Structure 1
């Protein structure tokens, strides 16, 4: 049974013991047989930081109707480039996820539904898209999302090889096999995990640490019943999606209140992440590092400072290093224009603290 308790800092935490036989008997199997072309070896001098210009979304100006910074990923890259961390030759450019790749996770019915603009408009939360010809929707929105999905899968492989990797995009945690929502059209986290379990001999068990302000209901629906996948989700329980069916798939559930601030938030993350890593020993840590926890975010409704976000990312990477677990970071949600700078500053901090480096230091 679930055991609920109030932690010392007041947020509601629910823990489901991750034991043999507690979940359904399903272990995510060694499939798909399809060997993805999203995996490839990177060149000497490149870092496991994944990005390409095609990540950025352009809707003929319609993207301005959404609070999301549709060029966030390009802005992160530019800030890192200005800081001298990466340039066009050092960053790894992923391939676009193909229909065959996406079919590993998604139903045919769901993929076909994306051929209708009104379905995509609902997922992107931009109603005017419903009347835009679908070929434009494909090229302006879905194709960038397929590149970001490919980036997440590739970053997972690179994390196993390097000990760390960062996809400057991805983290579409509201999308599941048969449903997209919340600006998330493809289930990149599910695909990342399934590809690693199928194709990486070093990965038998995966942990998802979802620290976006919103519940990660997509991967929870897809993977929550799998004994070799552990999900820690720390989120504001008073906002979208409030998916109670998906919640059953969370291994360690931490629910925050509106306007939670730095100290309470960071204590919740540290206490529960350490407990999760003591309970479950993963071969990969998939870190969904949403920045919509930032104070002033009208959708996340939390009150964590920019400094708090940087401390959070440092904390997660430190825990992964201390437990000798490779970590892959996805940037996920973040609905203010200043979040790109914060993400770049956080990555710089990880370099400065030696938590990521230019040297391949496989932790296994």
Structure 2
């Protein structure tokens, strides 16, 4: 029997499936300014979307706090004893969580600013609780290798992992690479044309190879030109186009998709994330009907009817 949890309560129906909590923004007496990560990035994204009238406070799905029992779906008790509680958001159909994407964390070890294995937890919750969801594809387009979820799903044939990353930067986890079904290793300074061609080719290839019941899309913006940790040279327009490519591929196949924003270590990344979300909206790739319109798979329809239970994500307090 699934454990008891408050993370799968239905959000009010008018809510847009964009998940956020003010607690995503990390502050500590100004010390956060000394860190390369923009700790207020997520709140800035939401403010940009409000300015463009895409969302309002009462239409955002509020993240909920995960209990230890929830986190034990993935993590060991020993590991949890080292950490504070986090935030877990429930979603439906398509979803964008403006936080999350902690892809260096595995079930028993954190790493690279990542304390909770939110991608692993989202997928395991789906497998445990949503009837008919038995296959998942992770499309990880952060500049860094997603070694956390790779280690967690090393021997799990239900999960297909595609990972596109700078081959020369952290974490360089050779063991975790064994879990990647479609591996694309990039050179220093890779630019838009080459990058977008590879993303398009391999996203199409991955989804043609296996049609999943859910896509978890790790949309890191640390691929942006000038990022101090990513080492790539993708333009803001390239990032917007990248997200469009992934959502179009999901939409054509009627596959629900969860996007998390992951890494991105420049002040301008918040504006780029907001611009990308607005572009997806303007193209009709995200709307209230996306999850159900023309859905041919009764398992997907059942997933959406059952509740707003099909996507979960974590963010640090």
TM-score in terms of structure 1 length: 0.79
Provide the residue aligned with 1:208 in structure 2: 138
Deviation per residue, 1:323-361 (Å, 9 max, x gap): 111111001110001000000000000000000113364
Provide the residue aligned with 2:281 in structure 1: 351
| Distance in 2 (alpha carbons) for counterparts of 1:35 and 1:312 | 38
Determine whether 1:80 maps to 2:49: yes
Q: How does 1:217-256 map to 2 (within 5 A)?
A: 217-256=147-186
Provide the residue aligned with 2:234 in structure 1: 304
TM-score in terms of structure 2 length: 0.90
Alpha-carbon distance change, 279 to 360 in structure 1, aligned in 2, over 3 angstroms: closer
Gaps of 5+ in 1: 1-31, 115-137
Determine whether 1:55 maps to 2:24: yes
Alpha-carbon distance change, 276 to 361 in structure 1, aligned in 2, over 3 angstroms: closer
Higher strand share: 2
Q: Higher RCO, 1 or 2 (CA under 8 Å, sep at least 6)?
A: 2
What RMSD in Å do the two structures reach over aligned CA positions?
1.2
Larger Rg: 1
| Distance in 2 (alpha carbons) for counterparts of 1:287 and 1:361 | 16
Determine whether 1:108 maps to 2:77: yes
Give, in angstroms, the shift of residue 44 of structure 1. 2.8
Number of aligned pairs?
A: 294
- Kept in 2: contact 1:252–1:276 (CA 8 A): yes
Provide the residue aligned with 1:42 in structure 2: 11
- Kept in 1: contact 2:189–2:231 (CA 8 A): yes
The correspondence for 2:118, drawn from 158, 165, 188, is 188
Determine whether 1:93 maps to 2:59: no
Give, in angstroms, the shift of residue 320 of structure 1. 0.3
Determine whether 1:342 maps to 2:272: yes
Provide the residue aligned with 1:176 in structure 2: 106
- Kept in 1: contact 2:251–2:290 (CA 8 A): no
The correspondence for 1:68, drawn from 24, 37, 57, is 37
Structure 1's consecutive aligned runs of 4 or more residues displaced over 4 angstroms after TM superposition are none
Give, in angstroms, the shift of residue 52 of structure 1. 1.5
